[in-house]
Amino acid sequence: MYVIAAVVAAASVIITWRWLFSQNSIQAFFNARIIEIRSPIQGVWKPNSENVAVGNQLLPGRELGEVDGKLVNPLAIELRLREAALRQNIAVVQDTIQNTEGRIATRQQRLTSFEELLADQNSMQATYSGLTLSSAEALLAEANHEKNLMKTKYRRIDELARLGLVSELEHTSTRLTHQMAQARTAALRSQLSKAQLDLKANELGLQLEGTMTFSYPRLRVEELEDKLRDLSLDLQSHQTSLTSLKAQYEVVSNTKAFEDYRQIVTDKSVLIWSIEAQGETHVIRGQPLIRVIDCSDIWVEAFVDERAAASYHKGDEVEISAINNQGKWQGEVQFIRYGSGRITLGQPVTAPPPEISRRQLPVRVATLIVRLSTNTRNDREGLSCPIGLSVKVRHAN
């Protein structure tokens, strides 16, 4: 009997020794982030009954549900009113632009007509001035000829008068006629100079006689040109306003579309953890709808003896096996955290927890954070997101 007791005691010591100094994990389990999906808008939450069920695992791109805010979202209603107002303003500005373009076209036609009249007037005025100049030149030539003739006649009469062959009356009459011919020649020479100036002024578009004013066609051309410039500026201003209104309308319309309706779709592989909003219900912006586990980023947290943790280093490869033999994985130590369950970092005074004070913890442990190597993953029985599964961790070699 003493021998049996001794053997049992020795075996217990050996088992305890191996357990205390084993490099295998004391306890380990899969962990992952829990993501809380909140309502992006205020509205009626309509979950997808086929996909939204606790425990369902969904691949990326699967629909979780939709939030309809057309009738209950205050921001959507306000944006809808703003959209209607902008649509009306755009219609008003478009009508104004169309009206302005019509006025520009009408005045452009009038301008073309008066420009043709002005061109005809200028052409006729040039022809008239040319004819006036030619007439003045002809009259001056005739007057010069008459003056020369009278000069010759006066010289002959003057000689005869000195000889006493003509009366004093005839001599005086001939002298006065000669003087009148000279005066007429001087007057016609002045008229020729005036005709030349009129022709040159007409070529420059200037006026030398009469009331100093422009002709009616020229006045209308200048008036229409000024009006067309003003209308062009108005049209440019209206077009700028229309562009601005359309840009505002696009922003409001796009924002309204987001506030009217929003579909909730998974962007990664997830596992439904809990349902916060049951069935079709009214939700507010930011209200939790579903809590899911991020299956695309899982890791293992393994607790090992602090003395055994000295053999682990960052980057070490480890083997992970499920306690229920439902899967094996390979991973890599990401980092080691010491003092697990014994201290609170950042506190000014470190006190041992009650378990250590009562000597309820057999060892002091360190925590290994192990990332799975997805390229060596070997899942069985559909354990693709084994969150919470207990596993064993040991060195790969």
Per-residue pLDDT tens for 151-178?
777 777 777 777 777 777 777 777 777 7
Q: What is the mean pLDDT of residues 319-345?
A: 76
- The one-letter amino acid at 262: R
Q: Are 332 and 317 in contact, with CB atoms under 8 Å apart?
A: yes
Please give the Cα distance from 186 to 139 (Å, whole number). Answer: 11
- Residue 14: pLDDT band with limits 50, 70, 90: very low
Among 13-22, 79-88, 107-116, 159-168, the range of highest mean pLDDT:
79-88
Q: Are 387 and 271 in contact, with CB atoms under 8 Å apart?
A: yes
Domain range annotation of the chain: 22-62+267-395, 78-225
pTM over 0.75: no
Please give the Cα distance from 143 to 187 (Å, whole number). Answer: 10
Six-digit token string for 12? 């217990």
Q: Are 100 and 231 in contact, with CB atoms under 8 Å apart?
A: yes
Q: Which CATH architecture has domain 78-225?
A: Orthogonal Bundle (1.10)
- Residue 214: pLDDT band with limits 50, 70, 90: low
Q: What is the pLDDT of residue 25?
A: 63
Q: Are 159 and 186 in contact, with CB atoms under 8 Å apart?
A: no
- Residue 189: pLDDT band with limits 50, 70, 90: confident
**pLDDT: which is higher, 8 or 313:** 313
Please give the Cα distance from 340 to 131 (Å, whole number). Answer: 119
**Which helix (H) or strand (E) segment is 178 a member of?**
helix 168-203
> Whole-number mean pLDDT of the chain?
79
Picking from 145, 129, 228, the residue whose alpha carbon sits closest to that of residue 184 is 145
Q: Are 286 and 39 in contact, with CB atoms under 8 Å apart?
A: yes
Please give the Cα distance from 4 to 2 (Å, whole number). Answer: 5
Q: What is the mean pLDDT of residues 223-237?
A: 91
Exposed, middle or buried: residue 276 (CB in 10 Å: 0-12, 13-18, 19+)? middle
Q: What is the mean pLDDT of residues 226-242?
A: 92
Q: What is the mean pLDDT of residues 218-246?
A: 90
pLDDT at 263 > cutoff 60: yes
Q: What is the pLDDT of residue 397?
A: 67
Please give the Cα distance from 378 to 258 (Å, whole number). Answer: 42
